[in-house]
């Protein structure tokens, strides 16, 4: 916790040092300028906080339902907002994912979903949300003046690693038996919680993944559009939509680094990446876009926090029900359809269905 606080505070201190004493005043002036374009701010809020939340709900719903729990769109969207709320108060940009998984496991306990499979849906949802964004970024790089080779390699490596990792988890039947024979790895994969978690990836099927990936593409378009609109609101006219498409994935990845709700790392990401463009974007304008985006995110977070309190959701109670393997794995993970400790992940046919 102390480390993450230090990262956020340290990066803001570095931004202040690099920008000089006038950086705060310049950022405030850019924020004031954005207030002269209220319709742009409203459009950004509608795209990200409104439509974006529903689209992410559809994306997650497409992954949860094949596992046997008929989650509604309203509940899936609500849990996304609750997750955003906890991302703001927990010391990492992905802390809300753990809360979402815990609440989903609690909701779906009568259906035998369990904690391991709930975590699986959240991780796969993250992947199908991020991979289209990375793909868009790679396509846009040739049309982005000033982007360095290192940025292109970075996006490509993250994208390839994500695809390979997801593929290995979905086809664990190809490597599971070998992994069981390795000394340390064998001990890990023999843990019931690990077997259930890995085995759940084979249950989605091609159709569910294709639908979720489609919604991931839609959300990527909304995310890039939100940034482009906010950029226009603060007077950034030199950055094209193609350039925003290359910038946003890098900033999105930076926000996942250890910090308090992504604060500090996101602002530094905007400043560094947009400052490397040709022509470069002024640091105060890049910081203003970051703060406006954080404000839209806080809007989603505030709604999620209210819904969390009104619902009476209690994450501590969910986690306290965890089984002997710890983590978010609830007692329902011992359901008959779970993967047995010695059985390994379920077999899949050529279509990827269970």
- By CB atoms closer than 10 A (0-12, 13-18, 19+), residue 221 is middle
Q: Does 185 score more than 90 pLDDT?
A: no
Q: How confident is the model at residue 335 (pLDDT cuts 50, 70, 90)?
A: very low
pLDDT tens string 189-228: 788 777 777 777 778 888 898 999 999 999 999 999 999 9
Q: Does 148 score more than 70 pLDDT?
A: no
Average pLDDT over residues 296-324: 72
pLDDT higher at 261 or 204:
204
pLDDT higher at 285 or 257:
285
pLDDT given at position 338: 36
Structure-block tokens of residue 81: 């907002």
Structure-block tokens of residue 31: 């924020």
pLDDT tens string 76-135: 999 999 998 988 877 655 578 889 999 999 999 898 888 888 988 998 898 888 889 988
Angle at Cα 175 formed by Cα 172 and Cα 180, nearest 5°? 105
Average pLDDT over residues 140-157: 73
Rounded alpha-carbon distances, angstroms, from residue 102 to 36, 51, 73, 327: 42, 25, 18, 9
pLDDT given at position 37: 92
Average pLDDT over residues 332-348: 40
* 120, 30 contact by CB (below 8 A): no
Return the number of other C-beta atoms located less than 10 Å from residue 259's C-beta: 25
Rounded alpha-carbon distances, angstroms, from residue 196 to 122, 145, 181: 15, 46, 18
pLDDT given at position 167: 78
* 152, 249 contact by CB (below 8 A): no
pLDDT given at position 59: 96
Provide CB contacts within 8 A for 83, sequence distance 6+.
96, 97, 99, 100, 304
Is the preceding omega at residue 215 within 30 degrees of 0, hence cis? no
pLDDT given at position 147: 66
In whole angstroms, give the CA distance from residue 59 to residue 76: 9
Strand partners, 263: 260
In whole angstroms, give the CA distance from residue 40 to residue 42: 5
pLDDT given at position 177: 83
Angle between helices 114-140 and 241-254 in degrees, nearest 10 = 140
Average pLDDT over residues 319-347: 41
Average pLDDT over residues 126-150: 81
In whole angstroms, give the CA distance from residue 104 to residue 107: 5
In whole angstroms, give the CA distance from residue 221 to residue 203: 28
What pTM did the predictor assign?
0.81
């Amino acid at each position: 916790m102390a480390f993450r606080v230090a990262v956020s505070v340290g990066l803001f201190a570095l931004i202040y040092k690099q920008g000089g004493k006038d950086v705060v005043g310049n950022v405030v002036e850019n924020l004031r300028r954005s207030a002269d374009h209220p319709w742009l701010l409203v459009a950004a809020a509608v795209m990200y906080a409104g439509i974006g939340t529903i689209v992410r709900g559809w994306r997650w719903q497409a992954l949860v339902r094949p596992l046997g729990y008929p989650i509604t769109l309203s509940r899936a969207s609500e849990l996304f907002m609750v997750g955003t709320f906890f991302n703001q108060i927990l010391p990492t940009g992905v802390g809300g994912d753990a809360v979402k998984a815990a609440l989903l496991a609690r909701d779906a306990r009568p259906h035998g979903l369990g904690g391991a499979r709930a975590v699986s849906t959240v991780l796969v949802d993250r992947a199908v949300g991020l991979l289209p964004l990375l793909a868009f970024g790679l396509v846009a790089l040739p049309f982005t003046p000033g982007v360095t080779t290192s940025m292109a390699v970075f996006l490509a490596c993250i994208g390839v690693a994500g695809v390979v990792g997801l593929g290995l988890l979905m086809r664990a039947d190809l490597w599971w038996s070998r992994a069981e024979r390795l000394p340390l790895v064998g001990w890990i994969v023999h843990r019931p919680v690990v077997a259930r978690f890995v085995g759940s990836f084979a249950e989605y099927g091609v159709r569910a993944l294709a639908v979720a990936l489609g919604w991931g593409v839609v959300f990527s378009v909304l995310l890039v559009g939100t940034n482009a609109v906010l950029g226009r609101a603060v007077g950034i006219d030199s950055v094209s939509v193609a350039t925003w498409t290359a910038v946003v994935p890098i900033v999105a990845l930076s926000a996942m680094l250890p910090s308090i709700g992504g604060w500090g790392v996101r602002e530094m990401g905007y400043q560094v990446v947009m400052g490397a463009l040709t022509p470069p974007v002024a640091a105060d304008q890049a910081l203003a876009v970051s703060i406006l985006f954080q404000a839209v995110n806080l809007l989603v977070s505030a709604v999620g926090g209210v819904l969390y309190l009104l619902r009476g959701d209690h994450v501590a109670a969910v986690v306290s029900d965890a089984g002997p393997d710890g983590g978010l794995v609830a007692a329902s993970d011992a359901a008959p359809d779970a993967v047995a400790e010695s059985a390994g992940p379920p077999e899949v046919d050529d279509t990827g269905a269970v």
